Amino acid sequence: MDILESDNVDLVITDIMMPSISGFEILRRVKETNELIEVILLTGEAPDKAKPAVSAMQGGAHDYLLKPVNLGELKGAIRGALEKQQLRMDNKRLLQELVQMAHADYLTGLSNQRSFFSLFSQEFERSVRYRRSLSCIFLDVDKFKTINDRHGHRCGDLVLERIGNVLIKHTRVSDIKCRYGGDEFVVVLPEGNQEGTQCLAEKIRHLTENELFDFADQPLKVTVSLGVSVYEVGSHQPASNLLNAADLALLSAKHAGGNRVVFKNVDDLAIRDIVPNTVGI
């Protein structure tokens, strides 16, 4: 059991009748430690006693072999146990990949819109509960349609991938980063304030503007517009207004010519500013 807890174990072969602990107890402890570890039980019980064999299989044992053990039979059981373990590990990894794919944007690796709203809702509730500020950045690529029309959609995809990389590299692990749809991105920053969030937005704008995108040997300059909003401690605005304010700030940046950062306070939102169905929360 000490070896089992300290080492990487794939397979346990154990007798059933032992002086200090039974093989069934070993089986139970192994499966509690890691259900992927396979167990082969050995017994000198008479073959007509089926109850121990049934108990072994119900407990998760891979096989139940009678002694004296035939070497070929034991090798076959070991081979089968390891193949079964590998298959279960492959299936578990595949399931994890499928879950990740369902929550991630295929192009940038950021969260997709579906998972974003769940993450944002949790973070907003945490912000209210612990009385912490929460800030948001909406980002949109300037004249993205022109990029696609002139250089093709593969070039547009490259631009989105690069911007996704900028967001991953220059934001915290705790920040929620999402490709919101098309060429629009959103970042939510727990405990973010106006000054820090605007500085980050300006940094992202500067990095994008000064990166020379090279596609098919054609240099390409790309700029982005960003809208910033902050949910301050004590505000009684709904969660959706934080996103609405950032979205409206982004629209102001676009209307002012793009390649700039604009801030809008959540508490300054007027009823006329709130666009129905702008966000899904």
Catalytic sites, residue numbers: 183
Q: Is 134 exposed, middle or buried (0-12, 13-18, 19+ CB in 10 A)?
A: buried
Tell me which residue has tokens 């490259």.
158
Query: Of 204, 223, 217, whose CA–CA distance to 143 is shortest?
Result: 223
Query: Of 114, 199, 215, whose CA–CA distance to 162 is shortest?
Result: 215
CA distance linking residue 189 with residue 120, whole number of Å: 10
CA distance linking residue 281 with residue 278, whole number of Å: 9
Instruction: Provide the edge-to-edge strand list for the sheet that holds 63-66.
Output: 11-15, 38-43, 63-66
Residue 64 belongs to what H/E stretch? strand 63-66
Cis status of the peptide bond prior to 68, with omega within 30 of 0 = yes
Reduce the secondary structure of 206-256 to three states and give it as a string: HHHHCCEEEECCEEEECCEEEEEEEECCCCCCCHHHHHHHHHHHHHHHHHC
Residues 6+ apart with CB under 8 A from 265: 229, 230, 245
